[in-house]
Structure 1
Amino acid sequence: MRGALNLLLVILLALNLRPILTSIGPLLEPMRSSTGLGYQQAALLTALPVLCMGLVPLLQPWLRRWISEHGGMLAGLSAIALACLWRLQLDSAWALIASAVVAGLGVAVVQGMMPGLVNRWFPSRLAATMGLYSAALMSGGGLAAVLGPTVSEVAGRWQAGLGIWAVPALLALCGWAWLRPRHDTPHLAAASGGHWFGNRRAWLLALYFGLINGGYTSMVAWLPAYHLEHGGTAQGGGELVGLMTIFQVSGALGLPLLLRRLHDRRPGLWLALAIQLGGFLGLLLAPTQAMGLWVAMIGLGLGACFSLSLTLTLEHLKTPGEAGSLAAFVQGVGFIVTGTVPYVTGWLRAFTGDFQAAWTLLTLTVVAMLLVTARFAPRGYTAAVARRGRSMQATTLN
């Protein structure tokens, strides 16, 4: 019973981590006409929350001295709920941007703690549970993109399509307050054990996570425009993003379950990256022949990579506190990288006049990650993270 309640809580929390991002795009035009929001300002509605998702986890070793896991989770969920409720009433561009910062800070706090929490609650089913967490996270984003316009149309106000996502945030807030294990809240300041800035493996994992997920932010940003360039419609572009989300969820949930008996995550990552590579090559070489197939392959690979890369990070350390600290660092640096990639691919589109250079860059990134994956042999985990301890000790002695 306790395990089922913990799993329900993981799903409730994960569902709230993407609607603040994905609810924006489908409602952008009515938002712009109502508030005078410019395209550069509109970019901030996504860029600022992603930046928060990167910066806040990097501060966790210091934040944990003043705030407990319970307090942090309550604060993060409250920030998400308050930002969404604020969006029900706002009518200016700068208020929208400010609400994005508040919601982004909330998501960053909750998201930064989730891997360590999952590792502590489900140590023997880590891969499967991380897959379910990732699938719920992506599902929340997909639901917001699909249902937001409908809610807005029924209510007669675009604000309703943004503000409705306060409901799941409040449900998660109540769920955390009532369902969380009362005996399972360690003192996180002692568990974190310092920071990871001096560890090479931590940086490698962070860059790996960020570059793998940069494909997702680039596809969300530019896939509809690419579809339009090849004779498609705006509605068709949105449907392609929806198709990608469906296969992301399938990849995040299915591949970790299929390979759950393997202790080595490299075969799953190689398979997921190979599927992504096939999709990007399809976009490059034959976009008009089977665009739906290429997008589905990319989504399947992206979903599996997100889940497996976080699992890989957590498995580098045996204690939940240390593993959670490493995962926070990896997500912190990783999301900064992830948020940068679509700007680079967008610049390439503007500079070259089409998306071929952008897709080529993402294809080469996937190839590089295929090669880097070979570094993550399980027998090397202990030695790779132990270097952190030696470097910190040396600093102390000096």
Structure 2
Amino acid sequence: MIPAAKYSQHRSGWMILVLIVLIGLNLRPFLVAPGPILNTIMPELGMTVYSASLLTLLPMLLMGVGAFVSPGLQAAWGTRKGMLIALAILLLGTLLRFWVQDGVTFIFTAVLCGVGVAFVQSAMPGLIKSSFSRQVAPITGVYSACLMVGGALGAYSIPHLMDAGLSWRQSLGLLAVPVFIAMLVGWRYLTGVPANRPNMSQVQTLLHHPRTWSLMTAFGLVNGGYSTLVAWLAPYYQSLGWERSDSATLIVVMSVCQAISAVGLPVLARKQTDRRLWLMLTLVMQSLGFCGLALWPAGTAMLWVGMCGAGLGGSFSLIIVTALDHSKAPEEAGTLAALMQGGGFIIAGLAPWVIALLNDLTGSFVSGWLLHLGLVAITACLYWRFNPRYYDQVMQPVAVSNR
């Protein structure tokens, strides 16, 4: 017979895992779901491709800024209070989509959602580590997969809800229901998790390392591919004559391949300290995918989108592991990974706007896919520099002026 105290602890652990899954599933639908119906929304709200790109650009920028700001808020508020406030903001931003009447309001809802998600993403690693100290890697893999699957479910559900007779406002607003469920579970089971204030001297030191900026750039260029696909993949295929529900299926395929690769590739690469060949494999997949989207988009769309998704998902996970490998000190490694994601998300947020500009200049998204081929080549040069034999050398302390 299991003692009552141990049973309660075991049950609480399972409920925290359920909470992590629920939260992960809710962090991307607001971002991904509008994509398949943008061609319906834009004329009604008077939005251009530039203003529509802000639906992705601004939340991604906030996710980047949040990596720098959220740790201080978490230390001041605590994880439980901060998480619940952030989920409430995400809930509010999603609910307001029921009443959107113009492009500015719609963009404002995306900003609100981005603020909430920025804090949650910053706090989630600490929650995982404190709740599952011996299973950090697999639980992080589950969380990462939930991010991608949640986006897929959001993109897939909206066109079908509209086909069932709901308006696009009602369809997007209903995404608040799972957010509310996550809030309820969080209110019941989320406990306080100690959060230290960020070590600003360590942050300042790392920002003087060229390697920190190389990691930021690589992370940003790769995730720029994701933000572009989220924003413009469905409109691209709709411009080729696809129905919105069929174009939404492409986002589902991309997200599922992302999730599988994000979990699977780090497992395959776990016994090797030099992960550059695995990182290059993810770039090869992205190259094939973007090349296919540009040159042969119609016949084998699922293949090209799946290749992009697998390459992006595997690269996302492996570059985080690579950043953590740079330092044997857990605190420094965590700070480096946080800085990489912060600066990287800011870079990634700019990609949809740049692609919108290219589309406006050339009349096609093909130029955007070709641009991403070039960015993949730049990323390959950066990835090849991440040789573990020289991590100690490149991470040597540098003199920081206090003037």
**1:276 equivalenced with 2:292 (yes/no):** no
1:193 Cα deviation (Å)? 4.5
Residue number in structure 2 paired with 1:200: 210
User: Which is worse superposed, 197-206 or 318-327?
Assistant: 318-327
Q: Residue 234 and residue 241 in structure 1: after superposition, are their counterparts in 2 closer, same or farther (change >3 A)?
A: same
Q: SS where residue 309 of structure 1 aligns?
A: helix
CA distance in structure 2 between the aligned counterparts of 1:280 and 1:22, rounded to whole angstroms = 19
1:269 Cα deviation (Å)? 1.5
Residue number in structure 1 paired with 2:401: 395
User: Which is worse superposed, 158-167 or 221-230?
Assistant: 221-230
**Contact 2:35 2:234 (8 Å CA) reproduced:** no
Residue number in structure 2 paired with 1:188: 197
1:335-387 Cα offsets, whole Å, 9 max, x none, are: 11111123223333333444443333211222232232222233444443443
1:319 Cα deviation (Å)? 5.2
Residue number in structure 1 paired with 2:107: 97
Trace 1:217-366 onto structure 2 (pairs within 5 A).
217-228=227-238, 232-318=242-328, 320-366=330-376
Q: SS where residue 15 of structure 1 aligns?
A: helix
1:173-209 Cα offsets, whole Å, 9 max, x none, are: 3333443465x42333459944443232221111111
Q: SS where residue 295 of structure 1 aligns?
A: helix
User: Which is worse superposed, 31-40 or 287-296?
Assistant: 31-40
Trace 1:79-94 onto structure 2 (pairs within 5 A).
79-94=89-104
**Contact 1:81 1:170 (8 Å CA) reproduced:** yes
CA distance in structure 1 between the aligned counterparts of 2:44 and 2:358, rounded to whole angstroms = 31
CA distance in structure 1 between the aligned counterparts of 2:187 and 2:168, rounded to whole angstroms = 31
1:221-258 Cα offsets, whole Å, 9 max, x none, are: 33334435656454443332222222112212222233
Q: Residue 110 and residue 322 in structure 1: after superposition, are their counterparts in 2 closer, same or farther (change >3 A)?
A: farther
**Contact 2:94 2:113 (8 Å CA) reproduced:** yes
Q: SS where residue 114 of structure 1 aligns?
A: helix
1:114-137 Cα offsets, whole Å, 9 max, x none, are: 345445555665544333222110
**Contact 2:286 2:312 (8 Å CA) reproduced:** yes
**Contact 1:61 1:194 (8 Å CA) reproduced:** no
Residue number in structure 2 paired with 1:376: 386
Q: Residue 331 and residue 369 in structure 1: after superposition, are their counterparts in 2 closer, same or farther (change >3 A)?
A: same
CA distance in structure 2 between the aligned counterparts of 1:121 and 1:385, rounded to whole angstroms = 30
CA distance in structure 2 between the aligned counterparts of 1:266 and 1:34, rounded to whole angstroms = 47
TM-score, normalization: structure 2?
0.84
CA distance in structure 1 between the aligned counterparts of 2:260 and 2:174, rounded to whole angstroms = 26
Residue number in structure 2 paired with 1:149: 159
Residue number in structure 1 paired with 2:173: 163
Q: SS where residue 132 of structure 1 aligns?
A: helix
1:57 Cα deviation (Å)? 1.9
Q: SS where residue 395 of structure 1 aligns?
A: coil
**Contact 1:9 1:175 (8 Å CA) reproduced:** yes
CA distance in structure 2 between the aligned counterparts of 1:233 and 1:151, rounded to whole angstroms = 14
1:244-286 Cα offsets, whole Å, 9 max, x none, are: 2221122122222333333443333222222222223333454
Q: SS where residue 251 of structure 1 aligns?
A: helix
CA RMSD in angstroms comes to 3.1
Q: Residue 153 and residue 384 in structure 1: after superposition, are their counterparts in 2 closer, same or farther (change >3 A)?
A: same
CA distance in structure 2 between the aligned counterparts of 1:113 and 1:384, rounded to whole angstroms = 28
Residue number in structure 1 paired with 2:226: 216
CA distance in structure 1 between the aligned counterparts of 2:273 and 2:136, rounded to whole angstroms = 11
User: Which is worse superposed, 250-259 or 37-46?
Assistant: 37-46
1:212 Cα deviation (Å)? 0.8
User: Which is worse superposed, 310-319 or 325-334?
Assistant: 310-319
Q: Residue 44 and residue 218 in structure 1: after superposition, are their counterparts in 2 closer, same or farther (change >3 A)?
A: closer
Q: SS where residue 207 of structure 2 aligns?
A: coil
Q: How many residue pairs are counted as aligned between the two chains? A: 392
User: Which is worse superposed, 71-80 or 191-200?
Assistant: 191-200
Percentage of pairs with the same residue: 37
Q: Residue 308 and residue 118 in structure 1: after superposition, are their counterparts in 2 closer, same or farther (change >3 A)?
A: farther
Q: Residue 245 and residue 371 in structure 1: after superposition, are their counterparts in 2 closer, same or farther (change >3 A)?
A: same
* Structure 2: unaligned runs, 5 residues or longer: 1-9
Q: Which amino acid aligns with 1:172?
A: A
Q: Which amino acid aligns with 2:106?
A: L
